[in-house]
Amino acid sequence: MDMILREATPLDAADIVGLVNRAYRPSSEDGGWTHERDLVAGNRTEYEQLLSLFRPLSKILVLCQAEVIIACVHLLHNEDSTTDIGMLATEPNFQTHGLGKRMLLEAEQYAAEHFSATTFRLCVVLARPELIAFYQRRGYQQTGEAEDYPIDAGVGQPRIDGLQIITLTKPAKRLAEDRSLL
């Protein structure tokens, strides 16, 4: 079945919230390899929080199959020509099909074309070495920046003490190299 990539609209907000929360914090019987269920409690996002992302220089891309959103990613462009990439999520039953890789590459391409981004930046929970490795295989490098999990950001509460997030970056010039690998 064909998949369609498009920009999300506020009408997609409820579906995106459900997708993100299933991907990041699934119930025990659900979930693929990318979840944080054992590290963070609570929802990854809420409806009002997601609606606030629909503003200038902020885009959510969604991948749909039969009009159902099965993957998403958020981009936020900054004044320093860096684009933050976050909220990368794939429906748990579609994980391991390469959709996360595809969405990351689509996000990078969008940021380069529409925002003239020179650098892509993302944050990852330090206690997720397999996820850090996923991004490193795609050209991201750790910056050495680490900070405490953002408890006040409305993205859940740590289940373990001292949980931190780290920053990874990738120069946009690496995008051409990565596209040639497809």
In the chain, the DSSP E strands lie at: 3-7, 40-41, 58-65, 68-77, 82-90, 119-125, 141-148, 157-158, 164-171
Q: What percent of the chain has pLDDT over 90?
A: 70
> pLDDT band at 29, cuts 50/70/90?
low
Predicted confidence at residue 1, as pLDDT, reads 64
Q: Which CATH number fits domain 3-179: 1.10.287.3510, 3.40.630.30, 3.90.230.10, 3.40.50.920?
A: 3.40.630.30
Sorted by where each begins, the domain ranges of the chain are 3-179
pTM of the model: 0.91
